[in-house]
Amino acid sequence: MASECIPRKSSDGDVSLPGDPPGGPMIFQRLLAGLDLLSLSWEPFRDGVEIARIYRTGDDGPSAAFLRYRPGSRLERHLHTGYEHIFILSGSQIDDAGTHRAGTLLVNPPGTTHAIRSDEGCMVLAIWNSPVVFVPD
């Protein structure tokens, strides 16, 4: 299983890999202020939701990413095949358990499902033990 590091721009505009220098930690400073997030490489994920991957280990291994929800966006119901950790950095999201605001850490265990919407928009850090599977409602 190969590990994939996603290129990102540093604060001085240079493109680097998370973990530079080799073997070092991936450092994202001032996340709660959103400053490091502006330099990431964002791509479409679902309608109204963008993703900036931090790392991915193969197709079925652990991964982490930032997700950016536009106001009014939704993420369809999905099944957690492993643990999912969601830290809400800004805004809020709503799922089957209620409304969750910035500063909230959600831990969804394997075998659980939920659908998400964000009326005001939000930014989250998502860490997955294994990929989620999208399922019909």
Q: How far apart are CA 88 and CA 37, in angstroms?
A: 13
Q: How confident is the model at residue 56 (pLDDT cuts 50, 70, 90)?
A: very high
The predicted-structure confidence for 13-31, as pLDDT tens digits, reads as follows 333 444 445 567 877 777 7
> May I ask the CATH architecture of the domain 3-134?
Sandwich (2.60)
The predicted-structure confidence for 78-135, as pLDDT tens digits, reads as follows 999 999 999 999 999 999 999 999 999 999 999 999 999 999 999 999 999 999 999 9
Which of 28-32, 71-75, 133-137 has the highest mean predicted lDDT (pLDDT)?
Answer: 71-75
What token pair was written down for 128? 């997955």
- Sign of the CA dihedral with 105 first, then 40, 91, and 94 last: negative
